[in-house]
Amino acid sequence: MAKGKNPKKERKPPSPGRPWKAWEGRLSEKSDPDVEQFTSSFSFDRRLFPYDIMGSIAHAEALSCSGLLTGEEAKAIVCGLKEIAAEGAEGSASDEDVHMYVERRLIEKIGEVGGKLHTGRSRNDQVALDLRLYLKEESKNLIGAIYNLQERLIDAAEAHLGTYLPGYTHLQRAQPISLAHYLLAYYEMIERDRTRLLDGLKRLDQMPLGAGALAGNPFSIDRLAVARTLGFSSVTANSLDAVSDRDFVVEFLSAASILMMHLSRWAEDWILWSSCEFGFIELPDKLCTGSSMMPQKKNPDLLELIRGKTGRVYGALFTLLTVLKGLPLTYNRDLQEDKPPLFDTVETLKNSLRIMTLLVSQVRFNEKRMADATEEGSLLATDLADYLVTKGLPFREAHRVVGKMVRAALASARPFPRWTLAQLKEHSPLFQEDVFRQMSTAASIAKRRGIGGTAISSIQLEIQKIKRLLKKSK
């Protein structure tokens, strides 16, 4: 060695508590603090901590089975990971992400052998694994929350089979329906949401670990065995695809957006129904707020927030679609931005479903106000047209006749049930005494007894079917 030349210093393992970078051997300069702050994802991806531990333990055991770790090394790594799991993710913003935090803590706990854990693994397939494990669990939690809401809807529907109210089109009174029928409409909507999440689990149930950075794993690691350990039914078929796509997150966010759309429509209904103009429902005081200025106010803020938060979920979907749309294969750092919108959406859904379940359980329906609304106006107009059809009049002509009758009823402020037979015959000689058997809300509803109709008999059959399905899916 020439005089005056210093031997190249060996890089020491990270000192306890000091965040470090996996690429320190390649780059000659320490990261700028602004760069570290800008690139760090630990503040939000720490939510993946338990899944990172789970995947790391499975990977360590696979390395041992492949002879890449001795039994003692694997045992030390697994014990160290379990200790870290018990501590929780206590890192800071200076930790680049949860994956490097776990590796740093492992090396601090058990020494350089902890650095062997990353053999044959990249953060690219590591984060894809963590995200799938997280989303599998949260999808199942959300499916359970939807199920709880569905049960409350069925309870309310059974209690209100004989409660009648106007059904609406264009926010105008249209035809009388049963309140139970109305409630089951939202049951059907969120049932489709539930099955969408269930179906999405099929695409989630593929393990990406073993894809490496992009080209696959060069070591003889049994991916199928690791998949079974982690509860996956299969493994991803292409390493490039496994590390670079997030369509499983897009699919979840799409299903989440549809679910929130349904909850928002429901919230809008009940916001209207709770107003003095409708007065169809009374929300419990403990699920409402007041005004800071107007003493008389009782506001349906929870429903308004569900309606408002729907935009956040829509935004999450479009955020990720925009992130993905121009990414070349394979992994790009843009994908770090998949997690904040996903995590926010999961929490928004859980909270919204919980609030709607509380509201359904405790809302009071004003049955008299609903019934009174069915007696006003011309809700039986279609029934009168149908009656004339049974007497041989073409429907289009029957529609014209009854349309003129509606004008007359509005002008006289005298609804159809209060008309005499003579008054009816002024518009069509086809009206007979039997028409009065059909000129009631109950008769109108009872006629619609086909599958999917509002007749009580149809609703009862539907509830029985739903209960069987819910019992089977429990």
**Exposed (0-12), middle (13-18) or buried (19+): which is 401, by Cβ within 10 Å?**
middle
**41 CB-near residues (< 8 Å, 6+ apart):** 96, 97, 98, 336, 339
CA dist 229 → 60, 64, 192 (Å):
12, 14, 31
Q: Hey, what are 314's tokens?
A: 């829509």
Beta strands in 170-327 (DSSP E): 172-178, 206-207, 234-235, 281-282
Contacts of 155 (CB under 8 A, 6+ apart): 361
The helix, strand and coil proportions of the chain, stated in percent and rounded to the nearest 5, come to 65, 5, 30
Task: Compute the distance between CA of residue 250 and CA of residue 253 in angstroms, rounded to an integer.
Answer: 5
Report, as residue numbers or ranges, the catalytic residues.
Answer: 170, 291
Nearest Cα residue to 127 out of 157, 102, 161, 106:
102
Pairing relation of β-strands 234-235 and 206-207?
parallel
Distance CA 4, CA 168 (A): 91
Cα-flanking dihedrals φ and ψ of residue 51, to 5°? -75, -30
Residue 341 CA to chain centroid, in angstroms? 13
Contact call for residues 93 and 43 (beta carbons, < 8 A): yes
Q: Where are the alpha helices (DSSP H) in 329-420?
A: 339-362, 367-375, 381-390, 395-412
DSSP-H helix ranges across 16-87: 33-39, 42-45, 49-65, 71-87
Compute the residue count for the chain: 474
* Dist CA 365 CA 356 (whole Å): 15
Q: For 433-452, give the DSSP string.
A: GGGGGSSSHHHHHHH--STT
